[in-house]
């Protein structure tokens, strides 16, 4: 039932039914994939600095395998072939004196220019998705893993919401998100708004969710919500 209702919600205006990304001479259709569903796949959605990774980490403590798209992307940026391709597309100004990519400078450039962001995504997205597929296949074979969690900021945008058996939306007010981002030295409120303009709206993502977690309160309240939702997922298997 979750799968059927999710497909219905994914046909709403503004939600892509599929996204094809280049992979060498092939095209990856992100929705036409097998899903044996031996283990539930849980997708985490929410705004920047809403606490998606915190929710994913807590699910990890409950026996889930967590796949972080950001961690995969950061690793890719250190690989020479990927780095060289990004430099070829965007120029040497994104490099540190050491020759490594300056992630802060890279973000500053691409989020100021939609065309450059698209170029970066064409390099990274196929590789991130391919690595995610590899990890899903590996974790499905591990008996002790209870579920697989996708901590993927662009989960809906790349068409992978339909891979998930359960979608969780992490709701957090913009002021609270901006405060948390400033505390970590990452972004301010204006930068959050700029980056989220390149994403499907939070309202539409919230509509897709099977469950919503409110992350405007304290950590223990957050943990209780996560535990309740995962108990329901475990019962539904």
Give the strand pairing for 211-214 and 166-171: parallel
> Are the CB atoms for 33 and 162 separated by under 8 Å?
no
Does the model's pTM come out above 0.85? Answer: no
Residue 24 pLDDT: 41
What is the mean pLDDT of the segment spanning 192-212? 94
Mean residue pLDDT across the chain: 87
Give yes or no for residue 92 having a pLDDT over 80. yes
User: Hey, is 45 helix, strand or coil?
Assistant: strand
Angle at 212 between CA 211 and CA 218, to 5 degrees: 135
| Percent helix, percent strand, percent coil in the chain, to nearest 5 | 50, 15, 30
pLDDT at 17: 44
The domain spans of the chain are: 40-70+127-231
44: helix, strand or coil: strand
> Could you report how far apart the first and last alpha carbons of the chain are, in Å?
12
Q: What local confidence, expressed as pLDDT, does residue 72 receive?
A: 97
Of the listed ranges 82-91, 105-114, 180-189, the least confidently predicted one is 180-189
Question: Is residue 183 predicted with pLDDT exceeding 90?
Answer: no
Whether the predicted pLDDT of 4 surpasses 80: no
CA distance 48 to 215: 12
Q: 40-70+127-231 maps to which CATH number?
A: 3.40.50.300
Q: Indicate whether 15 pLDDT > 90.
A: no
What share of the chain in percent tops pLDDT 70? 84
């Amino acid at each position: 039932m979750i799968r059927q209702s999710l497909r219905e919600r994914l046909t709403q205006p503004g939600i892509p039914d599929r996204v094809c990304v280049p992979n060498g001479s092939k095209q990856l259709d992100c929705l036409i994939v097998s899903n044996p569903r031996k283990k539930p796949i849980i997708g985490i959605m929410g705004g920047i600095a809403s606490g998606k990774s915190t929710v994913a980490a807590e699910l990890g403590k409950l026996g889930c395998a967590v796949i972080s798209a950001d961690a995969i992307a950061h690793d890719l940026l250190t690989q020479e072939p990927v780095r060289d391709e990004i430099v070829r597309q965007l120029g040497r100004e994104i490099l540190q004196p050491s020759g490594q990519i300056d992630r802060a400078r890279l973000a500053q450039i691409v989020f100021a220019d939609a065309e450059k962001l698209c170029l970066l995504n064409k390099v990274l997205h196929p590789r991130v998705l391919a690595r995610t597929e590899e990890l899903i296949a590996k974790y499905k074979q591990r008996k002790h893993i209870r579920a697989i969690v996708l901590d993927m900021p662009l989960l809906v945008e790349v068409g992978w919401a339909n891979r998930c058996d359960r979608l969780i939306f992490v709701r957090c007010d913009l002021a609270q998100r901006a405060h948390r981002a400033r505390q970590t030295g990452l972004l301010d409120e204006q930068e959050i708004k700029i980056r989220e303009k390149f994403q499907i709206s939070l309202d539409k993502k919230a509509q897709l969710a099977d469950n919503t977690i409110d992350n405007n309160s304290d950590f223990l309240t957050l943990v209780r919500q996560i535990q309740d939702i995962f108990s329901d997922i475990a019962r539904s298997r």
